Structure 1
Amino acid sequence: MKENKVYMALFTSALSTFIGVLNETSLNVAYPKLASYFKVSLDTVQWVTTGYLLTVTIMMGATAYLLKQFNARWLSLVSNIAFISGALICSFSVNFKMLLLGRIIQGIATGLATPVMFHIIFTQVPNKLKGLMAGVGGMVISFAPALGPTYGGIVVDQTNSWRFIFNYLIILGIIALILGQIFINTKAFGNDKPFSYGAFVTLGLSVASLVYASSVMAKGSMLTLMAFIILGLVLGALFVKLNNSGQSRLFDLGVFKHKTVALATLTYFCLQFINIGIAVVIPLYMQYVLKTSSTTAGSVLFPGALIGALLSPLAGTIADSVGASKPVITGGIFLLLSSLCFLLLQKQMTVILITVIYIFLRSGFNLAFSNTINNATSQVEIHNIADINSIFNVTQQFAGSLGVSILTGIMAMHQAHGQAGFVQNSYEGGQADFILVAILAGIALVAMITNYSLQKKA
């Protein structure tokens, strides 16, 4: 009976995570409509996704402390109330600032929901099934952002309104709220040290500065770009100092003394940058260059998302049986080859070809993603599992927000300053995006091979 309740708690937290992560990218296909409706540019519109991811990133910086301090049931309650409230604000938005406020509130919700799900997996699920369940968790947070554009495209085309994207998710939010209060009851470990507000604020400001720096690329202001990059790095250094020297820590950065954890973190960053960034670029590229509808632009991601999602638990089972290195490195190879295909076959791009390449890209991503974090938890002591959970969740959201901001910024920059027509400028912006994605896929593969070579020697 207790085991059944654990799995119901896991299902409930996965539902909250699913609707939160689905919501991350559901507006991607509506960017052209939002830009027209609110009379703003593409590099401004992208903040409905980047601002959301940024808020999630900042919130996840506090989750290692919160999960030690509070019962997960209460974190789930706050998460679901915030999601529903934010969705209502977005649905009734009369200007862009109101829409952005609603998205920030929803970001708070997802920033709490995802770590709760992984906390249940890493602390309540038996060791022999952790790889499988981590795969299920990875399936949720990798399938949902790719499904988001499909969901958003269908809703926008069928209702001719982006507001219904939020209305339908409110229903799922209410269900998750009720189930969470019934089944989630993971006890807190306890924490007798105060919350490190200084570290939390400097982490948030550092992340925000770096993401904002990437968003000003389209405006071509090199001075502003460099100023915010320097500010972000200085604040990041201050965060490390405050986090390590205070009475309490947001999370224990000492885990990076393990080279394998550092390499896994780099891998995780590259994977999520590509995952979230490409889920924005492809629908935009298809609408601007291939002139497809919102539904087609969003639906082209669905087959890859579905196959990748089904592959994720299988990848976890393989890792439980033979170790994480084989599925992770195989996934890295798939990711690099598919990224190169987007670049080298760009002139021949059709809806079908994009669909096929994306299937291989998502297969590679899902072979590697959940196994990377699960393997990292095995490299540290049990009291550091919450720290790994928090660090990796912060990393994935930061990577996602940078992915959206940088890749849309590159395309917007080409659209604004290119010498050719709008379609050709968008084509060249897409080409620059594909080059960056291929480079990051190469870095991820090198980090994977190095990581598991070190583990084999040890």
Structure 2
Amino acid sequence: MTERDEIMSNNNEKISRQTYLALLAAALLSFTGILTETSMNVTFPELTKVFNVTLDTVQWITTGYLLMVTIVMATTAFLLKKFKSQTIHLVAALAFVIGDVMCALSPDFPILMSGRLIQAIATGLSTPLMFHIIFNKIPAGRIGSMTGLAGMVISLAPALGPTYGGTISSTMSWRMIFWLILPIIVISWYLGSHYIRIDPAGTGGFDVISLIFLAATLFSMVFAVSRAGKYAILSSEVLVPFVIGLIALAVFIYSDTHGHTQLLDIRILKWLTTSLSAFTYFVLQFVNIGVSFLIPVYCQYVLHSSPFIAGLVLLPGSLVGAAVSPYAGQLADMKGYALPIILGLSSMTLGGLIFFGIQAVLTAWTVLLIYTFLRFGFNMGFSNTISNAMLNVPRKYTADVNSLFSMIQQFAGSIGVGIVAAVMAISQNNGAGSLAARSFIGGKYDFLLATLLSAAALVAAIINFRIQKHLKLNIEESHSA
């Protein structure tokens, strides 16, 4: 059988009904968890008044959530090997319900924050579980298409969040944001208990030390970024947690690579193609979540839009992204991963540049159109990046790639929101003129940051695929010899 025949055979292999329903169970829980990441963004101005806290404090509802998700995802390489996938899904569903009810009933900000952190456990488990089902149950020739559908879930939810949150908070109460999503979790629990069936592969012990220092790294880095909104970047309030984060990172790397057990095998980053894919994946989600946070805030502070309109401007982009993501996966299956990823990053770079270049004449309508174009680029590249990375490592490392990239995805969102909020807060707190004028300056720097990062990721992707092409040619030459 030729390579082409093998690919066509894999593409035509039937996927069972049980697999589809198992994926739906994980996808519903993942979608709902990610939806709540950004659904509260449009309520930030209201929550600062309700709980008497500042914007850079209330943004921890999103930043802290993403940070906890990141930490939990770091454990999934171990958990998916050690426990039944059905059990992991059940724990995730219960965690979401408990956290959701706490948020809906929260009398003060600390309770709301605690509920968000418990909810984050659910998302931290369900998103890697969704990819775990794909990489274990889907034929290789159809992985691009199925990860495209998974990417649709991951990318559609944060964009729909502000629209959902803005609509509910404008017509009812922000607390209803949490009550209305509970039925989805019940459906997910039912499907998961009946159709998720992947046995553990078995593994060694759990590296608690590495987890502690990884958590310290992530928290210190994000905390340093959040402090930058109040204090000078070179002040001790910012530098001390940043240095602590670097020290914790060094200890984590040493512990994870020299201990008898591993949290996840970060040695997969020794392959340059994996490292470049990881950087690309980080930037894609950084810009996606960062801009999804920025636009509703910018529309309210600068364009004086209502929370409903501020959230609504993201809806067309999210719908376009939902349509593009499966097509992007199919395109990768047929033409290779280079085309959709490079096209996507080029579109994101151009979209960020347009935001920056015409900022002075932006309206709600132009924001809607440019964001839709940017979302097209994001969805072309996002799920294809993890698929490409997965197919370029030995199969025994797939759980580690899944865990690492899921962790990168969430950390990128967490740090992205933190940096974008810090830049906006610095401008609002230290600039001159009206609040709208100061927010305009903050938005200018945020748009520029998104553009530069997208351009850097584009360069990384081009280098990555040149390396992959070179490696493939070497393999073909060795086989022919």
- Give the deviation of 1:413 after TM superposition: 1.3
Where do 1:353-432 residues align within 5 Å? 353-432=366-445
Match of 1:212 among 220, 223, 229: 223
Contact 1:258 1:379 in 2 (8 A): no
**TM-score under structure 2 normalisation?**
0.94
Classify the secondary structure of the residue corresponding to 1:218: coil
Name the structure 1 match of 2:197.
Answer: 185
Where do 1:136-147 residues align within 5 Å? 136-147=149-160
- Give the deviation of 1:154 after TM superposition: 0.4
CA deviation map 1:113-169 (0-9, x unaligned): 00000000011111121110000001100010000000000000110x110000011
Where do 1:119-158 residues align within 5 Å? 119-158=132-171
**Runs of 5+ in structure 2 lacking a partner?**
1-13, 472-481
Match of 2:212 among 193, 201, 222: 201
Structure of higher CA gyration radius: 2
Asked if 1:333 is matched to 2:337, the reply is no
CA deviation map 1:284-310 (0-9, x unaligned): 000001011111100100101110111
Classify the secondary structure of the residue corresponding to 1:219: coil
Name the structure 2 match of 1:90.
Answer: 103
Contact 1:243 1:250 in 2 (8 A): yes
* One-letter amino acid matched to 2:219: A
53-62 or 409-418, which deviates more = 409-418
Find the aligned partners of 1:350 and 1:80 in 2 and give their Cα distance.
Answer: 40
Find the aligned partners of 1:25 and 1:409 in 2 and give their Cα distance.
Answer: 17
* One-letter amino acid matched to 1:172: I
Contact 2:24 2:188 in 1 (8 A): no
* One-letter amino acid matched to 1:185: R
366-375 or 411-420, which deviates more = 411-420
- Give the deviation of 1:364 after TM superposition: 0.4
Find the aligned partners of 1:255 and 1:44 in 2 and give their Cα distance.
Answer: 36
Name the structure 1 match of 2:131.
Answer: 118
* One-letter amino acid matched to 2:174: W
Find the aligned partners of 1:182 and 1:265 in 2 and give their Cα distance.
Answer: 34
Asked if 1:281 is matched to 2:300, the reply is no
CA deviation map 1:169-216 (0-9, x unaligned): 11211221121111111111111x110000011001100000000000
Contact 1:147 1:301 in 2 (8 A): yes
**TM-score under structure 1 normalisation?**
0.98
Find the aligned partners of 2:459 and 2:322 in 1 and give their Cα distance.
Answer: 24
Contact 1:84 1:174 in 2 (8 A): no
Name the structure 2 match of 1:52.
Answer: 65
Identity %: 44
Question: Aligned residues, how many?
Answer: 456
- Give the deviation of 1:421 after TM superposition: 1.4
Asked if 1:175 is matched to 2:214, the reply is no
Name the structure 2 match of 1:240.
Answer: 253
417-426 or 1-10, which deviates more = 1-10
Name the structure 2 match of 1:61.
Answer: 74
Where do 1:98-113 residues align within 5 Å? 98-113=111-126
Find the aligned partners of 1:388 and 1:329 in 2 and give their Cα distance.
Answer: 21
Name the structure 2 match of 1:10.
Answer: 23
* One-letter amino acid matched to 1:444: A
Find the aligned partners of 2:79 and 2:268 in 1 and give their Cα distance.
Answer: 19
- Give the deviation of 1:2 after TM superposition: 7.7
**Runs of 5+ in structure 1 lacking a partner?**
none
Q: Which runs of 4+ in 1 moved over 4 A?
A: none
Where do 1:275-314 residues align within 5 Å? 275-314=288-327
CA deviation map 1:399-421 (0-9, x unaligned): 00001111011111111111211
* One-letter amino acid matched to 2:228: M
* One-letter amino acid matched to 2:67: L
Asked if 1:318 is matched to 2:331, the reply is yes
Name the structure 2 match of 1:444.
Answer: 457
Find the aligned partners of 2:85 and 2:215 in 1 and give their Cα distance.
Answer: 23
Match of 1:223 among 236, 253, 258: 236
Please tell me the root mean square deviation across aligned C-alpha atoms, in Å: 0.9
* One-letter amino acid matched to 1:213: A
* One-letter amino acid matched to 1:156: S
Find the aligned partners of 2:62 and 2:283 in 1 and give their Cα distance.
Answer: 18
